[in-house]
């Protein structure tokens, strides 16, 4: 085998053999560094050899093991014995540095087990290398702290996780392994300039609220409108289902068929749908009442102030017929527990505009996610560079020059244009872009 086959200039290839799956390559350092690792003295003498196995990049589809015939030395100054320094080897992993880098990148697109087989190491080793790689990315890729933050739930790999988003820029900035208070609080505490967070939009999940109150007490909490109004649809469904028992099988099928009409806003119904809806509500007044309650609950969000919204809510509450009250208990409880935060929306109408995008993300991840750990999927979502929303600050405004000025100033503008180089800001992951990249198989 050619002595440069490894393309590692610090090593001389002494010999090699190959089997069906592997290359075994025997080497030694080309120029040993003869310095005591303990006291830096150069007064050292040979003290035998030791063979060290180091894994390297796969070659021609085969796994590569480099057997370094490493020298041992004894120091004449301090008396310690030691092994020579092995350049380009990651001594924590017994891998070449280039293999460590390769595994990190490859973990973004392949499963740990797949990579472990390619290299000939355990899955645990791949997991550790990957975790170092992700820590390095966390240090180098920094997203801007959202001024308007969203906290949402996303269900991936069997568990609900918290997605942190930037509502102003419509991007995701983090994905946390769970929705516990401690997890959220730790995330918030580690944010650079966390006091710049002005608003946090969330669903009605108490640990989010407690974490925000504790760590960034000046940030205003706003319950996401979507999570409030959808409770009216849930109540509508609950009423519809409770009426089923009184219906003939034919009517039951009809109501099942028209259930989407009941969930649609009145203003969006076609003539045919309006006609169907009238049929149901005339024959079943309670269904009509439930439809009215749903519509009026949605209409609370047309209020122009929080006082007006609270007034509309109280009118709505009084108008619930006693027979239907049970179906609306969840809304009544939520309103009483979250009232100031629900009403905060009317001061700051912020909401998460990318719920649909998150749903497509969940869909593609569930297809792609088999075999990945949460950490690997998280890294894929957050650190696939092509999906980042990066904004280069515009250079200073410059007065436009006329032709005469232009020729005399040419040298000057050329030199200034090189000086105006401002730092780019990274606002996080554009979810739609990310979904498209996953669908094209790019990540």
- Which positions touch Zn ion (CB under 5 A)? 36, 38-39, 41, 75, 77-78
Residue number with CB closer to Zn ion (40 or 142): 40
Residue number with CB closer to Zn ion (39 or 420): 39
Residue number with CB closer to Zn ion (39 or 256): 39
CB of 41 to Zn ion, least distance (A): 5
Q: Residues near 200 by Cβ (< 8 Å), separated by ≥ 6?
A: 149, 150, 151, 208, 212, 216, 219, 220, 221, 222
Spatial distance between the Cα atoms of 50 and 67, rounded to a whole number of angstroms? 10
Q: Residues near 426 by Cβ (< 8 Å), separated by ≥ 6?
A: 141, 142, 143, 144, 388, 389, 390
Helix axes 325-343, 285-299, angle to 10 degrees: 0
CB of 70 to Zn ion, least distance (A): 18
Residue number with CB closer to Zn ion (45 or 414): 45
Residue number with CB closer to Zn ion (79 or 177): 79
Residue number with CB closer to Zn ion (67 or 82): 82
Spatial distance between the Cα atoms of 436 and 421, rounded to a whole number of angstroms? 31
For strands 62-75 and 44-59, give the pairing: antiparallel
DSSP 110: S
CB of 42 to Zn ion, least distance (A): 9
3 state SS of 411: helix
Spatial distance between the Cα atoms of 44 and 32, rounded to a whole number of angstroms? 12
Residue number with CB closer to Zn ion (37 or 128): 37
Residue number with CB closer to Zn ion (6 or 75): 75
CB of 76 to Zn ion, least distance (A): 8
CB of 38 to Zn ion, least distance (A): 4
Rounded to a whole number of angstroms, the distance between the first and last alpha carbons of the chain is 36
Spatial distance between the Cα atoms of 296 and 348, rounded to a whole number of angstroms? 22
- Give how far Cα 29 sits from Cα of 26, 50, 89, 364, 415, Å: 11, 12, 11, 48, 48
CB of 94 to Zn ion, least distance (A): 24
Q: Residues near 41 by Cβ (< 8 Å), separated by ≥ 6?
A: 35, 75, 76, 77, 78
Q: Residues near 178 by Cβ (< 8 Å), separated by ≥ 6?
A: 159, 160, 161, 162
CB of 34 to Zn ion, least distance (A): 11
CB of 33 to Zn ion, least distance (A): 13
User: Exposure pattern of 19-44 as b/e (b: 16+ CB <10 Å)?
Assistant: eeeebebbbbbeebebbbeeeeeeeb
Residue number with CB closer to Zn ion (81 or 339): 81
CB of 437 to Zn ion, least distance (A): 53
Q: Which two tokens stand for residue 111?
A: 């499963």
Spatial distance between the Cα atoms of 132 and 55, rounded to a whole number of angstroms? 17
CB of 80 to Zn ion, least distance (A): 5
- Look at residues 427, 439, 441, 443 and name the one whose alpha carbon lies nearest to residue 171: 427
CB of 45 to Zn ion, least distance (A): 11
Residue number with CB closer to Zn ion (84 or 144): 84
Residue number with CB closer to Zn ion (36 or 70): 36
Q: Is 346 within 8 Å of 305 (Cβ atoms)?
A: yes
């Amino acid at each position: 085998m050619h002595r440069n086959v490894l393309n590692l200039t610090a090593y001389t290839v002494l010999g090699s053999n190959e089997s069906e799956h592997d290359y075994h390559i025997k080497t030694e350092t080309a120029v040993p560094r003869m310095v005591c690792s303990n006291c830096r003295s150069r007064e050292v003498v040979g003290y035998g050899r030791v063979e060290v196995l180091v894994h390297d990049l796969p070659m021609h589809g085969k796994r590569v093991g480099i057997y370094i015939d490493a020298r041992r030395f004894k120091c004449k100054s301090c008396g310690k014995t030691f092994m020579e320094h092995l350049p380009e080897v990651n001594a924590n992993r017994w891998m070449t540095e280039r293999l460590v880098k390769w595994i990190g990148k490859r973990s973004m697109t392949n499963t740990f087990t797949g990579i472990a087989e390619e290299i000939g190491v355990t899955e645990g080793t791949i997991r550790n290398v990957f975790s170092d790689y992700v820590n390095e990315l966390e240090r180098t890729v920094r997203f801007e702290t959202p001024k308007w933050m969203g906290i949402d739930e996303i269900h991936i790999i069997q568990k609900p996780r918290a997605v942190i988003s930037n509502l102003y820029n419509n991007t995701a900035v983090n994905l946390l392994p769970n929705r516990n208070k401690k997890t959220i609080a730790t995330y918030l505490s580690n944010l650079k300039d966390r006091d710049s967070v002005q608003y946090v939009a969330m669903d009605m999940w108490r640990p989010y609220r407690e974490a925000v109150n504790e760590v960034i007490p000046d940030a205003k909490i706003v319950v996401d409108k979507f999570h409030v109004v959808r409770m009216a649809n849930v109540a509508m469904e609950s009423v519809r289902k409770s009426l089923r028992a009184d219906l003939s099988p034919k009517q039951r099928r009809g109501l099942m068929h028209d259930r989407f009409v009941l969930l649609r806003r009145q203003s969006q119904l076609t003539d045919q749908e309006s006609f169907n809806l009238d049929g149901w509500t005339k024959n079943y007044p309670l269904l009509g009442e439930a439809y009215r309650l749903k519509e009026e609950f949605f209409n609370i969000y047309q209020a122009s102030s929080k006082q007006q919204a609270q007034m509309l809510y109280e009118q709505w509450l009084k108008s619930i017929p006693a027979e239907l009250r049970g179906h609306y208990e969840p809304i009544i409880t939520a309103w009483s527990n979250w009232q100031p935060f629900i009403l905060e929306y009317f001061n700051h109408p912020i909401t998460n505009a990318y719920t649909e995008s998150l749903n497509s993300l969940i869909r593609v991840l569930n297809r792609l996610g088999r075999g990945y750990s949460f950490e690997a999927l998280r890294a894929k979502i957050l650190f696939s560079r092509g999906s980042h929303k990066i904004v280069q600050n515009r250079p200073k405004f410059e007065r436009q020059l006329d032709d005469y000025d232009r020729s005399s100033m040419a040298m000057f503008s050329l030199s200034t244009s090189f000086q105006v180089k401002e730092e780019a800001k990274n606002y996080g992951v554009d979810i739609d872009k990310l979904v498209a990249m996953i669908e094209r198989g790019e990540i």
